Structure 1
Amino acid sequence: MTATAASAGLLYSDTEDELRAAVRSLLADRSTPAAVLARLEQDRPYDPELWDTLAAGIGAAGLLVPEKLGGQGASHREAAVVLEELGRSVTPAPYLTSAVVATEILLACAPASAEATALLAELAAGRTVCVPALPLTLGPGGPLPAGPPTTPVTAVADAVAAHTFLVLADTGLYAVPAAEATRADRTPLDLTRPLATVTPHPGAGTLLADQATARHAVARGLLAGAGLLASEQLGLADWCLTETVGHLRTRHQFNRPVGSFQALKHRLAQLWLDVASARAAARAAADALATGAADAPLLVSVAQAYCSGVAVRAAEECVQLHGGIGMTWEHPAHLYLKRAKADSLALGTAGHHRTLLADLADLAAP
């Protein structure tokens, strides 16, 4: 698989459409809302067999990894398509943390580190899950944590699925096996993306990079993560819109479809415009990351500042316009609302990205 050409613009390529079809088919078969709810009720959000098929069978885990390092040699555009579909199905999977953020960090370290290169090959093949031991709320441009390698890190996403943690310390970046760290699970709002506090054991791990390289690598990982999180938010919002429209077409009141009422038409029309705009913003960010554009940080902040709010609004409308059924545990609307709310804090809030955007665009504060 080759990287998408920049000349394709923001439209989806044939390769991306084929990838979408494969991922959507897999998730429709193995990650239905009922299946997700059943796993959450058993306190087992992740499906290891599903992850193996997605990561290794389809090859999604190695999309950002060059072929010479054992990956698919694709780009952020293809990874964005995978995240759209994971957002549409609100599937619990460590794709954003492992296949995007951790992969970008390792790619920045790999040229000078044999250990990072070897770990990257394992990750790309889907044989391991590597999670950065960073707070989920940490966004690009934010202050990076500093301290000894044994410093506890709170709000680490997908820690329960990790085989290896990437630990940023004041002495560099370390690869710490999950068995050499203490994990204290937390109760998150979004049960489909579990959080934990991770504390590496003294002397644990292998040094991958010095401090300067490590901080540059982590900054690169956070930028890519924030940019592609917008695609997850897009997929989430698109599902909410589609599901709500379908419900209002079939639900009747006063012998008329509820969706025929003018006030609801206006709300859905506005939501459609919001989702269409979110698609443009998310695609622009993914394309800028894929092509290494100089304005990638600006486009990433635009995407996050906008898509974050759209996902929350779409999920809120989905719950409200489904009426009583939208408030039940059995209907998946609450999963989308919780994911949207949690995503609005992940990798930098909308306010954080607006501040970055103002700095990047030289817009002085009033």
Structure 2
Amino acid sequence: MTPTNPTAPMNPTSEPHKPDLLYSEAEEDLRAAVRGLLADRSDPAEAAVRAEEGVPYDAGLWKALAADMGVAGLLVPEELGGQGASYREAAVVLEELGRAIVPAPYLTSSVVATAVLLACDTGNAEVASLLGDLASGRRTAALVSRFSAGPDCFRLRPGLDGSFPGVADAATADVLLIPTTGGLYAVGKPGDGVGVRPQTPLDLTRPLAEVALDGATGTLLADAETGRAAVRRGLIAGAGLLASEQLGLAEWCLEETVRYTKERHQFNRPVGSFQALKHRMAQLWLEVVSARAAARNAADALAAGSSEAPLAVAVAQAYCGKVAVHAAEECVQLHGGIGMTWEHPAHLYLKRAKADSIAFGTSGAHREAVGKLVGLPAPS
């Protein structure tokens, strides 16, 4: 597959995009490489312990992913130090990170923040330098916006002052991207006038923090109009690829539940042979297959710069979040007593699914967006 340009404009007058939902050979090779690395280096149980100790991220694992394997630079053009791939490849990485609920700033830094910067003037030396650093894994960045804010719900502050709660990965990021009415700024941390106070999230593997700015100084990356458009593009990309993370999470929950119900016996029979449980898992399989189609359609539309990308993203988020929650709930319930314990990772998947279900907008907000985009707004 020829890589597409992540910054390609969404042209409303372009020809209708023909989606390709299949995985290419290169994408399957990428999946195998990421899955192999995570199988050797990632352990959900250890992630839970690190999160409780206030160190959610494994620096060695992030270096192996971002720098050694180069996945942090998938969306960055080669001339800026990246891999020159597309959202399709980044979506494959997120599927695998979701399967292993890996604590890593990939979604917030390598997708959202990178997409915001790519929508700015990449000829700007500061923008190009920051993109190069993000692509190499030397630094990470976080967009200062509520993790729950959708593409059309983020707020612009008048300046580099005030409090910004609920910012994902702000505590671990090296650079903060702050959209204001005066433009988009990059603020380094730690620094004068910048305070980050960790908050207690439901999902301990993706930390949230409150960013407090008091007369902070930053580097202007884009004017107000460009910055607003760039932030919206970044949030659309984040919402679209979050669906792939939710897909990976749901797939793991289904596969693990099927495996467990084949092994656990009652009345000298595997519990998975009971008709009631068969029906529940069959229903979940149908939902996961549909989620895969929705997530792949969103990634493909983003990769192609299609005018239908906002609609594809809204459809994916309206559906995939609920599937991930359902899959995680079934995983806990069908594992019986062991599924309710801290030692089994099922609770981590449920918490990630619940937290993701309101990230970048709730499913209800995305359903409303679908209605507006197709000319069928919900009644007021």
TM-score by length of 2: 0.94
1:233-312 pair list within 5 angstroms = 233-312=246-325
Instruction: Kindly indicate whether the alpha-carbon contact (under 8 Å) linking 1:234 and 1:282 is maintained by their aligned counterparts in 2.
Output: yes
1:15-26 pair list within 5 angstroms = 15-26=26-37
> 1:56 is matched with which residue?
67
> 2:235 is matched with which residue?
222
| Letter matched to residue 286 of structure 1 | A
Higher RCO structure, 1 or 2 (CA under 8 Å, sep 6+) = 2
Q: What is the Cα deviation at residue 33 of structure 1?
A: 2.1
> 1:108 is matched with which residue?
119
Distance (Å, rounded) in 2 between the aligned partners of 1:26 and 1:229 = 21
| Letter matched to residue 364 of structure 1 | P
> 2:347 is matched with which residue?
334
Instruction: Kindly indicate whether the alpha-carbon contact (under 8 Å) linking 2:121 and 2:222 is maintained by their aligned counterparts in 1.
Output: no
> 2:330 is matched with which residue?
317
Q: What is the Cα deviation at residue 160 of structure 1?
A: 1.9
Output one character per residue of 1:140-171: Cα deviation in whole Å (capped at 9) or x when no partner: 12243332211211100011210000011111
1:133-148 pair list within 5 angstroms = 133-148=144-159
Q: What is the Cα deviation at residue 233 of structure 1?
A: 0.2
Q: Which residue among 87, 98, 104 is the counterpart of 1:76?
A: 87
Residues 253, 228 of structure 1: CA spacing in aligned structure 2 closer, same or farther, 3 A cutoff? Answer: same
Distance (Å, rounded) in 1 between the aligned partners of 2:150 and 2:180 = 17
Q: Secondary structure at the match of 1:123?
A: helix
Instruction: Kindly indicate whether the alpha-carbon contact (under 8 Å) linking 1:2 and 1:73 is maintained by their aligned counterparts in 2.
Output: no
Distance (Å, rounded) in 2 between the aligned partners of 1:50 and 1:103 = 20
1:147-158 pair list within 5 angstroms = 147-158=158-169
> 1:356 is matched with which residue?
369
- Pair 1:167-2:159 in alignment: no
Q: What is the Cα deviation at residue 203 of structure 1?
A: 3.8
Distance (Å, rounded) in 2 between the aligned partners of 1:340 and 1:321 = 17
Distance (Å, rounded) in 2 between the aligned partners of 1:331 and 1:156 = 28
Which segments of 5 or more consecutive residues in structure 1 lack a partner in the other structure?
Answer: none
- Pair 1:94-2:105 in alignment: yes
- Pair 1:192-2:195 in alignment: no
> 1:3 is matched with which residue?
3
Q: Secondary structure at the match of 1:74?
A: coil
Stretch moving more, 150-159 or 260-269: 150-159
Equivalent pairs counted in the alignment come to 366
Distance (Å, rounded) in 1 between the aligned partners of 2:159 and 2:145 = 14
Output one character per residue of 1:81-124: Cα deviation in whole Å (capped at 9) or x when no partner: 00000100001100000000000110111335221111111111
Q: What is the alpha-carbon root mean square deviation over aligned residues? A: 1.5
Distance (Å, rounded) in 2 between the aligned partners of 1:118 and 1:4 = 22
Instruction: Kindly indicate whether the alpha-carbon contact (under 8 Å) linking 2:196 and 2:211 is maintained by their aligned counterparts in 1.
Output: yes
Instruction: Kindly indicate whether the alpha-carbon contact (under 8 Å) linking 1:4 and 1:13 is maintained by their aligned counterparts in 2.
Output: no
| Letter matched to residue 144 of structure 1 | R
Distance (Å, rounded) in 2 between the aligned partners of 1:251 and 1:78 = 37
Output one character per residue of 1:14-36: Cα deviation in whole Å (capped at 9) or x when no partner: 11111111111111111122322
Residues 7, 67 of structure 1: CA spacing in aligned structure 2 closer, same or farther, 3 A cutoff? Answer: farther
Q: Which stretches of structure 1, 4 residues or longer, exceed 2 Å deviation after superposition?
A: 4-8, 40-43, 110-113, 143-147
Instruction: Kindly indicate whether the alpha-carbon contact (under 8 Å) linking 2:176 and 2:189 is maintained by their aligned counterparts in 1.
Output: yes
Instruction: Kindly indicate whether the alpha-carbon contact (under 8 Å) linking 2:311 and 2:373 is maintained by their aligned counterparts in 1.
Output: yes
- Pair 1:29-2:40 in alignment: yes
Instruction: Kindly indicate whether the alpha-carbon contact (under 8 Å) linking 1:109 and 1:217 is maintained by their aligned counterparts in 2.
Output: yes
Q: Secondary structure at the match of 1:198?
A: strand
Share of identical aligned residues, percent? 63
> 1:179 is matched with which residue?
190
| Letter matched to residue 325 of structure 2 | V
| Letter matched to residue 22 of structure 2 | L
Instruction: Kindly indicate whether the alpha-carbon contact (under 8 Å) linking 1:4 and 1:77 is maintained by their aligned counterparts in 2.
Output: no
Distance (Å, rounded) in 1 between the aligned partners of 2:374 and 2:73 = 34
> 1:13 is matched with which residue?
24
Q: Secondary structure at the match of 2:231?
A: helix
Instruction: Kindly indicate whether the alpha-carbon contact (under 8 Å) linking 1:135 and 1:156 is maintained by their aligned counterparts in 2.
Output: yes
Q: What is the Cα deviation at residue 365 of structure 1?
A: 2.5
Q: What is the Cα deviation at residue 8 of structure 1?
A: 8.4
Output one character per residue of 1:229-272: Cα deviation in whole Å (capped at 9) or x when no partner: 00000000000000000000000011100000000000000000
Which segments of 5 or more consecutive residues in structure 2 lack a partner in the other structure?
Answer: 6-16
Instruction: Kindly indicate whether the alpha-carbon contact (under 8 Å) linking 2:368 and 2:378 is maintained by their aligned counterparts in 1.
Output: no
Stretch moving more, 127-136 or 1-10: 1-10
Distance (Å, rounded) in 2 between the aligned partners of 1:145 and 1:323 = 47
Stretch moving more, 201-210 or 155-164: 201-210
Instruction: Kindly indicate whether the alpha-carbon contact (under 8 Å) linking 2:159 and 2:180 is maintained by their aligned counterparts in 1.
Output: yes
